[in-house]
Chains A and B, each alone.
Chain A
Amino acid sequence: MTSTKISVQSLNLYYKDFQALKNVNLEVEENQVTALIGPSGCGKSTFLRTLNRMNDLIEGVRVDGVILLDGRDIYRPDVDVVNLRKKVGMVFQRPNPFPMSVYDNVAYGPRIHGEKNKRKLDEIVEKSLRAAVLWDEVQDRLYKSALGLSGGQQQRVCIARLLAVEPEVLLMDEPTSALDPLATLRIEELIQVLRNDYTIVIVTHNMQQAARVSGVTAFFLNGDLIEYGNTDVIFTRPADQRTEDYITGRFG
């Protein structure tokens, strides 16, 4: 039934002399929400960023190991990073719409990838905004700046902007940490809807959120992947004492 979308094998990541990820092995299932949890600095965000090579932007980062996306290694030298990021998109911690209109934000991706046809762009924008459950709220103000929207709406603009380039995998780096509880719940609902069509990997500090939205949970500590498995198992009877200590809030 489930098939592997991303397969991570013996992944090590070094930042200068510091080893931020230690021999991580993990399989990300297709059309599943995988949550990455762990204390600050445990490497979960770093790990997320290896999946679309956003770590390339940081000087001094060295990666070894294998990450297969649909069976192909994304760290091979002949891989086109631009194409990779088109397939594996990312939503960030703080909503970061560009300082332009809602329409231009969503149309940004298709435009940089060469779409010029106005009718086609209109279609993509509407479809993406509908998929991000935002269309009804912004259809009257498509041509006004996205920075005038509320935080939750801005984050959904970012998700729509991402959906517009038709990625296969959505990486979300604490997507609700800057949002109020109601906006958070709306994003979580959206994740549930999106999971039917996309493979989602989400980093979250909020364990309740991981429990609510994900099917699989992975627990990181000090760069090690301690435990990963079905979310209901991790949250009711984790196998490792360190996982237990973390999720029960008794982390020393």
Chain B
Amino acid sequence: MKTRTTFDQTLSELKQEILRMGFHVEEAIYRAVESMAKQDVNMAQSVIDGDVLIDNLELEIEDLCMKLIATQQPMAKDLRRIAVGLKIITDLERMADYSCGIAKITKRLVGQPLIKPLIDIPRMAQLAQKMVKESLDAYVREDVGLAANLATDDKQVDSLHSQVFRELLVLMMENPKTINQATSLLFASRYLERIADHATNIGERVIYLVTGKREVLND
């Protein structure tokens, strides 16, 4: 006999909503970095404008979680599902903010020739985007293995970030005029590194959700 059908339906609705929010965040990361590579102001602006949508989604999902807690008295795994959902949307919202940050940098750099071709930063963006997708897949499928894998990707993003950092440092030392643009690019790289960290946060929570144990994926 199946009990709590309504509750289960609302729970899967919650997961769908979080996936939707995650999709918008992925999109924002991709478009922010793409706009930077192509120096496309309009695309950058669309990322900034789209942030409102993501903020609203966060509030909507938060309300849904609170409604579930208040009306269904979730316990044990149900409680963890909802609590983890609440934390995930905060992570996603921060990611969107970082994407906005990158888009703002794009707008600031418009018209300046780039001091170096963007290679590592788009790679970081690709990885970060993949991590967001995988962390959310792990949440929806409650897949511990997938969540644990995020640690590997995160290490790669970290090392790309330090590579970018070293390269830009060299450029700045060679030519102080590049400092302005280089620090901006450094920030962009830093933002992407943070996005990856948030994705590992999600992975850690998924592991807690499934096993009830706390694990650190990001060290």
Contact = CB atoms under 8 A, between A and B. Distances in A.
**Interface residues of B toward A: which range?**
10 to 19
Contact of A207 (B75, B77, B78): B75
Interface in A222-246: 235-238, 243-244
Nearest to B211: A237
A208 interface: yes
A236 B76 CA distance: 4
A250 B1 CA distance: 9
B80 A237 contact: yes
23 contacts: A207-B73, A207-B75, A208-B73, A211-B75, A235-B75, A235-B76, A236-B76, A236-B80, A236-B212, A237-B212, A238-B76, A243-B76, A244-B77, A247-B76, A248-B74, A248-B76, A248-B77, A248-B78, A249-B3, A249-B4, A249-B75, A251-B3, A252-B2
Interface of B: 1-4, 7, 73-80, 212
Contacts of A236: 75-76, 79-80, 212
Interface string A28-41: 00000000000000
A247 B75 contact: yes
B212 A252 contact: no
Nearest to A237: B212
Nearest to A247: B75
Contacts of A248: 4, 74-78
A8 B212 CA distance: 29
A194 B76 CA distance: 28
B81 to A, nearest CB: 10
Contacts of B74: 248
Contact of B3 (A235, A243, A247, A250): A250
Contacts of A250: 2-4
A213 B97 CA distance: 42
Interface of A: 207-208, 211, 235-238, 243-244, 247-252
A244 B78 CA distance: 9
Given A247-B75, A248-B4, 4 more contacts: A235-B76, A248-B76, A248-B77, A250-B4
Nearest to B78: A248
Nearest to A233: B212
Nearest to B8: A250
Contacts of B3: 249-252
A124 B41 CA distance: 84
Which 7 pairs from chain A and chain B are nearest by CB?
A237-B212, A247-B75, A248-B78, A249-B4, A244-B76, A248-B75, A248-B76
Contact of A249 (B7, B80, B212): B7
B1 to A, nearest CB: 5
Given A250-B4, A252-B1, A237 B76 contact: yes
A136 to B, nearest CB: 32
Nearest to B81: A248
Contacts of A235: 75-76, 79
Contacts of B76: 235-238, 243-244, 247-248
Residue from A208, A235, A250 with most neighbouring chain B CB atoms (10 Å) = A250
B120 to A, nearest CB: 41
Contacts of A238: 76
Nearest to A211: B75
A252 B76 CA distance: 17
A247 B4 CA distance: 12
B37 to A, nearest CB: 45
Contacts of A247: 75-76
Contacts of B77: 237, 244, 248
A181 B79 CA distance: 23
Residue from A207, A208, A235, A249 with most neighbouring chain B CB atoms (10 Å) = A249
Contacts of A208: 73
B129 to A, nearest CB: 32
B69 to A, nearest CB: 12
A250 B78 CA distance: 11
Nearest to B7: A249
A39 to B, nearest CB: 12
Contacts of A237: 76-77, 80, 212
